[in-house]
Chain A
């Protein structure tokens, strides 16, 4: 359950702060996307950076590098504890690999009981993009897959909501407060997946989040402009 001391309720005026694991990878792009959604962001590089955040993004990049750097400073265990204590976490690509479980390198956080197979499509020449039909959205989402992992179908895990498939494999999946994407919404201008995650953060904090709803509206207008 949510630990009220660690993840306090927000005052109505305070903007929620979302942490972004900033050891390596696409963290600058996630920070830009989140800021456009109207939330405050914080770079997470040490265990203490996890305090007083309402959600965390683990970006794309090299999962072995992130695991390595996080382990050296005690952040790996802190991330696992935060995830298991109910902090909402959104992992894209490498982030999804770290949050799940699997037999290959790197060591996983195993915050969710979902197998994520690394480099499952092959090498860079097998990277691709595809129009995805994701259940929360009315129109398609442009998915960019870079040396992407494959989520092994989570049908045995009844808590998993598969929010989108590509060629039979889940590409966006929600398990409680954890959201996994095997593609990179941070590489596009489309903020819908980030907003979906922010909704998850809000609900878990029991916060009406008026401010963020307003900002989302502004974001929508911007999105429509493209």
Chain B
């Protein structure tokens, strides 16, 4: 096992394969899709994976009610047409939904705050699963708690379905600055820092030593345009999830496809503004969005989970 790149978490099942898949998604875009047609558009646009959903997050916000795992038939429809990895969401703590998704051979399970939580005490114990999990995190403590439960990939918990990137930016910057703070600390200070973060001490020490999380860190939540995606990459995201930003950009599938293609290219060429001009030239639509500052605190999805 590679000490620098693959930091083993004790007792993990298939840890190399789980984190390995996360590393293969680096530099890519994972797109939310609700049917086979959208999955086809996503794959043709160059997505590295699709997230099979019943409704995109902006519709979940609008409709209210209880949001649950997608119907099995919907996931199977998408699996049949996609040759790239297919991810799907389970509710926070809903290990039975996760077991069903694993039995469906879903490639990555997102234990997601976008769905209504099922357990107020515990997230899913992800270690025994053969399928890898991705979980959201707003700060380093939250990221390390999820990793200690067996998450093989972390993503920001930007406010899903709003097209407002401010929270994803905040989470990415905070995690990276907390990792930097750790670098200068001695053992005693690290122990206090671990207490402050409410995170396992051994994981905090590993992060301090390596200057990075044990697993890749992607951006998610509120990313709507090629420039948004490139900005998250510049802030240190290793790949990007895009939800409502593609299929809510326009009712016209041609325009949706143009947005999808442009976001894929923007993630590859994120450090080259001249290329980004060319990439953005074919995009004249974006989802309308919703200013998260106008959403009451208790309605924020990111506050689900801890």
Contacts and interface: CB of A to CB of B under 8 A. Distances in A.
Nearest to B48: A62
Interface string A194-226: 000000000000000000000000000000001
Interface string A50-90: 00000000001110110011001000000000000000000
A65 B17 contact: no
B3 A125 contact: no
A187 interface: yes
Contact of B268 (A64, A69, A127): A69
B46 A69 contact: yes
A187 B8 CA distance: 13
A124 B108 contact: yes
Nearest to B272: A45
Q: Please tell me the size bucket of the interface on B.
A: 35 or more
Given A24-B48, A25-B27, A26-B26, A125 B102 contact: yes
B131 A125 contact: yes
Given A146-B17, A184-B20, A187-B5, A24 B131 contact: no
Given A68-B264, A146-B20, A25 B46 contact: no
Contacts of A28: 26
B111 interface: no
Interface in B19-43: 20-21, 23-28, 43
Q: Determine the interface band of chain A, counting residues with CB < 8 A from chain B.
A: 35 or more
B16 A105 contact: no
A25 B48 CA distance: 9
User: Which 6 A-B residue pairings sit nearest by Cβ, starting from the closest?
Assistant: A68-B46, A124-B107, A127-B17, A189-B2, A24-B27, A62-B48
Contacts of B49: 62
A146 B24 contact: yes
A24, A105, A122 pick with most chain B CB within 10 angstroms? A24
Contacts of B130: 125
A188 interface: yes
Interface of A: 22-29, 32, 45, 60-62, 64-65, 68-69, 72, 93-94, 104-105, 118-119, 122-129, 144-147, 184, 187-189, 226
Nearest to A27: B27
A125 B46 contact: no
Contacts of A144: 16-17, 20
A122 B131 CA distance: 13
B303 interface: no
B286 interface: no
A63 to B, nearest CB: 9
B132 interface: yes
Contact of A187 (B2, B83, B261): B2
B223 to A, nearest CB: 17
Interface of B: 1-6, 14, 16-17, 20-21, 23-28, 43-49, 83-86, 102, 105-108, 130-132, 261, 264-265, 267-269
Nearest to B132: A124
A65 to B, nearest CB: 5
Nearest to B46: A68
A26 B24 CA distance: 5
B48 A65 contact: yes
Contacts of B23: 26, 29, 187
Contacts of B105: 122-126
A62 B269 contact: no
B83 A105 contact: yes
A144 B6 CA distance: 12
7 contacts: A25-B28, A29-B5, A64-B43, A72-B265, A123-B85, A124-B131, A125-B131
A124 B21 contact: yes
B27 A127 contact: no
Nearest to A94: B24
B17 A129 contact: yes
A126 B14 CA distance: 11
B236 to A, nearest CB: 13
A25 B20 CA distance: 11
A93 B197 CA distance: 38
Given A25-B27, A144-B16, 20 more contacts: A24-B268, A25-B26, A26-B24, A27-B26, A45-B268, A61-B26, A64-B84, A65-B46, A65-B47, A72-B261, A94-B24, A124-B85, A124-B105, A124-B107, A124-B108, A144-B17, A146-B20, A147-B85, A189-B3, A226-B3
